[in-house]
Structures are given as structure tokens and as C-alpha cells.
Amino acid sequence: MIKKCIGCGSELQNKDPLKVGYSPKDNAKLCQRCFKLKNYNQKEIINLKYTNDEILDLINKKAKTVFFITDFLNINKDVIDMYKKIKSSKYLVISKLDFIPFSIKKEKYIDYIKDTYSVDEKVLLVSGKKKSNIKELKNLIENSKDSYLCGFTNSGKSTLINSLSEDYGRNANILTSLMPNTTLDVIKIKLDEGIYVYDTPGFITKDEFKEKAFPKSYLKPVTLQVKESEVVSINDEMYISSNSKNSFTFYISNDIKVTKIYKDIPRLTNNIILEENSDIVIKNLGFINIKKECTISVSDNLKTCEIRKSMF
């Protein structure tokens, strides 16, 4: 029988340390990569076995019911486009509910997502860490028997699966980490008699991975009042200004530095016209709510950002 690593799902082997699934021990449950990640937080980025298209093809061929996991800060057009490519019966699950600011009414937020991105299926808000709304998710999974869980890397999928397992009195042992490519192959997890879920490798974006972009706790929005042409720096990497006095509220990890700058100001030549109360959506980071109608100038790495009408 082929043994698989319980952390990432790769086939275990003890012949080639340079290949996926290597462990020097014959009776190992974790490959060497997952063992180091779990015990020493040593992170080794390796190539995926599957491309995004291959993951999608696998899901569409095998899955009857799919739970697509994303999170509050990473809902954008690219994520929803991938969700819409799934042909099976599906649900959109927004994880990390505990990070969403208390000022946002959850029912209104669900309606906003459905309307903004034309999502027809049921949308659930859950938290694996706090076990919020896990019961509703369990009921849906039990009705479908075999369910596939998918999403982009670091969507909270593995944490959610471990939480579900614990609720059934089991231990899935799925490795969780703020690292792309943690899950390398499909992992079949038994929750109860006749009830299984399948953890799939995460879809990968082309954007650079930044660990501190993922909040570790409750998100506290940061609001800056900006004057005409004042430049705001996001982590000393992205820059934005308005052609008039305005209010910028940043819904991003509080580990990301946001500040106005007054020297070494970059020249911003990319202009975007915004309607009143718009969001600038930055992939893998979050979004900025801009209150007043204006023209913003942005650095090159923001010139193709998504603009949407805000819910606030």
C-alpha cells in the first residue's frame, strides 16, 4: 500500500531527499519537509505537483459537492472567477470570520458579496479557529457525504478541516502554515462513518507571497485623512495619493505599515477616476475604502488593481 504524508498528502519515499515526500524513516507519518515545518517552523517552498488548471480539472471530474474557501481580505475578481469555473454543486465559504471587524454586519456583507460578484450559490461565513458557524457547515457536508474543499493557498482551508475533524472527535492532522504549497496532493479525511472530505492543493496566484499580509488576529481598520496630493505609503512598496482632500480606510493586516510620507516621494503617473465610496482591491493584501469621488494616482504595482463599489 502506498503511504501518504498526513501533513501534505504527498507519497512517502526514502530514496531521494530532493524529491517530494522524502523521509529517512520507513515508518514515518510525515515527510521530512512537513516534519521540519511542524516541529521547527522551517519552511521549504517547492514546486507543486498540480497546476491551477489541473487542480480545477481534477475537482470538476471527481467532486459532486465543492466548498470553495476564501477569506475576508482575499475576495477579488480573480478568486471569484476561479470559483465560477467549478462545475459541481458548490458553496462559497468565507473563512476567518473572527478577523472581520465588528462594525460590518455579517448578513449585509453576504448580500454585498453576492450582488457585487454575481454569486448565486449559498455563501457561508465561518471561523475554523473560533469554530463559528461550524455546525451549519457540518450539516451541508453530511448531506453531501463526499465533499471537496478547495481554495487559494492560505485561505484557511486546512485550519477549517482540522476544526471540523475535532468537532467529530477526530484528528485530521492536516498541517497548517502561512506558506504556499503546504498541501501538495489530495488528502482524503474521514470525519464520521460514511462522511469524508477531500483536502486539495491550494490554487496559487502569481503575486508575491508575504507572510505578514495575513493577519494573526482581529483586524483593526486604519483610517488616514489625506490632503490634496499627499502620498500614502503601504509597506514602503505601494503608493497612492488623491487629487483632493479625502479619507482612506485600510482593511489590511495590522502588521503592514501604512503611513503618509514627506520625503523621497515617488512620482505617481497612473491615474484612476473613482466614484464616491469606492474600494481599491489589492490581491493578497486586502482593500482600501476611499470615501469621496476623486482621481487617485498610484504606483505601477497598483495600476491594474480592481475597483469596486464599497459596502460601507
**In which element (H, E) is residue 71 found?**
strand 65-71
pLDDT at 173: 60
E-strand ranges in 135-212 read 146-151, 187-192, 195-199
Res. 214 pLDDT band, cuts 50 70 90 = low
Which amino acid, residue 216? Answer: K
Same domain, residue pair 147 and 100: yes
Domain boundary (172, 199, 226) is at 199
216 and 137 inside one domain: no
Rounded Cα gap, residues 192 and 169, in angstroms: 9
Residues 120 and 255 in one domain: no
Residues 142 and 103 placed together within one structural domain of the fold: yes
Pair 119, 177 in one domain: yes
- Average pLDDT over the chain reads 86
Position 103 in a domain: yes
Question: What percentage of the chain exceeds 70 in pLDDT?
Answer: 89
pLDDT tier at 283, thresholds 50, 70, 90: confident
Which pTM does this prediction carry?
A: 0.82
- What does the pLDDT look like over 223-252, one tens digit per residue? 999 999 999 999 999 999 999 999 999 999
In a domain, 253, yes or no: yes
* Residue span of the structural domain in which 179 resides: 45-199
Can you name the residues that pair with 148 across neighbouring β-strands? 66, 198
Co-location of 195 and 250 in the same domain: no
User: Which residue has better confidence, 290 or 164?
Assistant: 290
Domain of residue 184, CATH code: 3.40.50.300
Per-residue confidence band for 177, with pLDDT thresholds at 50, 70 and 90: very low
Q: Do 185 and 122 belong to one domain?
A: yes
Percentage of the chain surpassing pLDDT 90?
48
Q: What is the mean pLDDT of residues 12-40?
A: 80
Residues 119 and 235 in one domain: no
Same domain assignment for residues 62 and 169: yes
Q: What per-residue confidence (pLDDT) applies to 178?
A: 45
Question: Alpha-carbon distance 306 to 283, whole Å?
Answer: 8
pLDDT-derived band at 194 (thresholds 50, 70, 90) equals confident
pLDDT in tens, 107-154: 999 999 999 999 999 999 998 888 889 999 999 999 987 899 999 887
55 close to 203: Cβ distance less than 8 angstroms: yes
Mark which of 199, 223, 258 sits at the end of a domain.
199
Q: Which of 199, 233, 264 is the last residue of a domain?
A: 199
What is the number of structural domains in the chain?
2
